[in-house]
Structures are given as structure tokens and as C-alpha cells.
Structure 1
């Protein structure tokens, strides 16, 4: 059985795209080699299961709309 402390250690930081900052350019999606980003209605969305926290998307976002956290 995994202790509560170990569960917290195993949590990964995943990308989050701020819908208010996202300009819909698609740079994040184009640069994600894990296909973890999909187009939503007005902005892009991160699939948390596919995100490996490489942070490439954040480095390519011209609007600084991507942050990381668990």
C-alpha cells in the first residue's frame, strides 16, 4: 500500500494553459512531441495523462499562457 507521503512524491507537475492568456496560435500543440495538447473551443487544453512535464510547450508559448503545477 502506498502511503500518503509517497503519493505526494509521485505527483508530477502538469502543464496548465490559462484560457484568458491563450491566443490560440497552436505553438504549444505543434511543439508537443507527446501529443498531450488538443484544441478546445477557444483555447488549447492539456491531456494530463499524456503530459510528461517536459515544459517545451511553455518555452514555445508566445503569450506565456502555460504554467506547471500538480
Structure 2
């Protein structure tokens, strides 16, 4: 395992933590999509924004899964 890699299930990133509320996540998602769509396809900025969009989408899915969990 390289010094930057983490065990499976842990993210090897220095990205700031994302908020947990769906509304805040959707606002971040809109902004990240706007940044992605405003730069040339394939550029470093595009790749960075696209990765952020994906990261936010995963967090939105996690938040929705918690809300949709059946009660015991």
C-alpha cells in the first residue's frame, strides 16, 4: 500500500467534508455542475469539477438512503 493509499472503504483524499443535508448538497451540486460545464471538456478544471460532482452525488445518495431506511 502506498503512503497516500488508505484501507478499502476509506477515501484517500484531502477534500473537505461535505454537508449532510440534501438541500446543501443540491446547492453544491448545482455549483459544481456549473463549474464543470463552463470549462473545456477534458481540461484539468473539467476533470476536477466532474470528480466533485460525482463525490457530491455519492453523498446525496447516502443522505437519501438514510431517509428511505425502513423503520425496525
Instruction: Specify if TM > 0.5.
Output: no
* TM-score, normalisation: structure 1: 0.31
Higher helix fraction (1 or 2):
2
| Greater relative contact order (CA < 8 Å, ≥ 6 in sequence) | 1
Structure with greater strand share of residues = 1
TM-score of the pair, normalised by structure 2: 0.30
